[in-house]
């Protein structure tokens, strides 16, 4: 399939719908090791994202993905509280930069955008894998996506591999000791809880799979 502005906009709508559906669950996870607002913040942010996209761009003629991603990033930075806004905002802005000038995306372009998003989060959060953050979902997803493409898989299969790896990484945060963010204040009490940021990241990546069939 052709991944263009229309497909990208449809993915963002699925992401917004999924975040709304899982808002209370994400907040429940965050209540255990954070500020109990991750689900509310992500829902508010993506509601604002969709309102801004529909305000700026006609639904019958959406722009190239790069422009939308930059709009998403700027909107998340300005509307999502806590660390999630700057981190997700930076991820989308960096992904948009990686896709500049491309009206349609090849599988390799999507890989480059995922890479840029990951590096943006690492830079902004000064974090790496194994610290009980969203990186623990995104980094294995990026690796799985690239490996799947390298093995000859099509886009749909590569996206599913990425989503599966993200969910595995999300679950792997449960026994981890948090060393970044609010959860790190709990020390060993953070062990045994699934990271809410890794969970929202895995959720976003899963919503991409419907666009890769």
* Residue extents of the structural domains in the chain: 5-211
CATH of domain 5-211: 1.25.40.340
**What percent of the chain clears pLDDT 70, i.e. is strictly above it?**
96
Tally of residues, the chain: 213
Contact 180, 202 (CB under 8 A): no
Q: What are the respective helix, strand and coil percentages of the chain, to the nearest 5? A: 75, 0, 25
**pTM for the complete prediction?**
0.94
169, pLDDT greater than 90: yes
75, pLDDT greater than 90: yes
Give CA separation, 144 vs 85, 91, 106, 111, 196, in Å: 26, 18, 17, 10, 21
185, pLDDT greater than 70: no
| Distance, CA of 168 to CA of 166 (rounded, Å) | 5
When mean pLDDT is compared over 141-155, 166-180, 186-200, the highest value belongs to: 141-155
Token digits for 23? 């808002």
pLDDT digits (tens, 9 = 90+) for 87-145: 999 999 999 999 999 999 999 999 999 999 999 999 999 999 999 999 999 999 999 99
The predicted pLDDT at position 213 comes to: 40
Among 191, 106, 199, 96, CA closest to 155: 106
Contacts of 150 (CB under 8 A, 6+ apart): none
Residue-averaged pLDDT of the chain: 93
**H/E segment holding residue 180:** none
The predicted pLDDT at position 190 comes to: 81
């Amino acid at each position: 399939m052709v991944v263009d502005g229309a497909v990208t906009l449809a993915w963002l709508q699925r992401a917004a719908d999924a975040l709304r559906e899982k808002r209370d669950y994400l907040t429940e996870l965050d209540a255990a090791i954070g500020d109990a607002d991750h689900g509310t913040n992500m829902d508010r942010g993506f509601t604002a994202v969709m309102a801004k996209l529909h305000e700026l761009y006609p639904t019958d003629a959406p722009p190239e993905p790069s422009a939308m991603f930059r709009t998403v990033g700027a909107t998340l930075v300005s509307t999502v509280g806590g660390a999630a806004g700057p981190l997700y905002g930076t991820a989308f802005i960096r992904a948009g930069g990686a896709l500049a000038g491309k009206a349609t995306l090849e599988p390799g372009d999507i890989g480059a955008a995922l890479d840029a998003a990951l590096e943006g989060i690492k830079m902004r959060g000064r974090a790496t894998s194994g610290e009980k953050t969203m990186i623990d979902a995104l980094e294995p997803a990026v690796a799985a996506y690239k490996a799947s493409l390298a093995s000859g898989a099509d886009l749909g299969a590569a996206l599913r591999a990425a989503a599966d790896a993200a969910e595995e990484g999300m679950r792997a945060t449960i026994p981890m000791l948090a060393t970044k963010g609010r959860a790190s204040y709990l020390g060993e009490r953070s062990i045994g809880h699934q990271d809410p940021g890794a969970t929202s990241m895995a959720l976003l990546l899963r919503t991409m799979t419907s666009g890769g069939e």
